Structure 1
Amino acid sequence: MFEPAPDLPRLVSFLHAGRPGWGVLRGDMVRPIPGGLRAALEGAGLEAALARAAGALPLASVDLTIPVPDAEKIICVGVNFPDRNAEYKDGQEAPPNPSLFIRFARSFTAHGKPLIRPPESDQLDYEGEIAIVIGKAGRRIPEDQALDHVAGLTLANEGTLRDWVRHAKFNVTQGKNFDRSGAMGPWLVPFRSPAQLDDIALETLVNGERRQADRTSRMIFPFRRIIAYVSTFTTLVPGDTILCGTPTGAGARFDPPVWLTPGDVVEVRAEGIGRLVNTIADE
């Protein structure tokens, strides 16, 4: 249910002997592909790159990284599920346009590695999300053509330091960008059909307890709308990664709030994409 379809390759980025690489994961072996993932997207694309996979490395011999470690932009969408909007209890209807903010690649870690709780805050929270990776550049992309610009799908835990998102009046940048406070991965699944996104289950579990659950068909701003809106003001280029919003149920919404602590295990999973699993550790 939560694993990619058998005909869809799982593309991973990694370090091997200190050098970056990427390739196709098959079982417990990785078949490397020459060049970089972002370069492949900028060139002939994923499907052409897959034909160049050669050799094999044991998965245990590589150090996984986030799927696109050198993305030009990582853009995040806030408040994108109906119940999330209600959580704010401000009496306002859902906004007419997406709320957006930027994260840096350094704020994410890979599948299987701990999210890092910094000494400045004990309010580390989880946000399970689906992320789309752009494969074809575009500006002012029409909604009916938006999915033509998607190369692949991955998962994200958009880890947040809640008190630090309130350090200023108009932004959340600080609380969203502590080093290794979030995660992305474990792989990139090539996008081949709208059915991979239109109505799939997205869930987050903490220590085996399901905390978040919703379906992409209920998103306030669908994937097509997000791509069209973002590309209005900035050119989307291959490798750009967009995190598309989290369901209700983050730890901040409990009474009292429930924060992540060292030893906790957080699992984000989505139908047809996979499972992103991370523990928590103190810096």
Structure 2
Amino acid sequence: MASLHPPPSPPILYSFESPNELSENLAAFIVRAQKEAVDKKGRFTVALSGGSLPKQLNKLIDNPAVKWDKWQVFFADERCVPLDHEDSNYNLCRKELFSKVSIPKQNIHHIDVSLLDDLEELADAYEKALISEFAQKDSARFPVFDLILLGIGPDGHTCSLFPEHPLLTEEDRWVAYIEDSPKPPPKRITLTFPVLNHALRVVFIAAGEGKADILSTIIDNPQAGLPASRVTPSHPGQVYWYVDNAASAKVKYHKSEFKL
């Protein structure tokens, strides 16, 4: 009997000579994904991470093809701190991207900081924000993001999903909280694997030789079960890796040079 859930497609890896070339091609990919989503349903749903990722979106800032008013932006994970705190992913994205473009403030869905003292309530409120955007419009069991942009940690974590943590087995919640993150700050909320694995496109971005060892493990040895390896959306979902040659130097998996 055929499976009701088609197996995930193998990841597509694009490796570029420099971080600048990576950013240029990533921007072009995002613009194409935006056009497809806006043409189909009039909006573009995106989840962003923090770390070095916001800086790598700089080629979008002056791109006239970006329709910022059509973007609905959520956060793949967030640290449970005030919005102006240096650890806040929202604050980082605001500094690097939002403050430089014309995206409406109401299209940026940040955490409710009045709930920082109750992580369960904070996660529930963020899940309700997702339900408001997705369930009422798409009638899906889980949200289907047009695009989720992720980074990777040196231990193979992504979002705030860390190796061997109980959250890796979460199957029902859209948003979960964590009080014992091995990387500070300890209190966070995060999208769960069911959400990541229902996305149309998940793009991991990695640059620099410091990512070489963990990148080769994630891609060439997925059976190791690192969190980033577990992001495997079923068809038509697809995982892409946008990396530079320094990061992919130890990867054995076939690499594609992607040119516009």
TM-score (norm 1): 0.25
Q: Which structure features the higher share of helix residues? A: 2
Q: Which structure features the higher share of strand residues? A: 1
TM-score (norm 2): 0.27
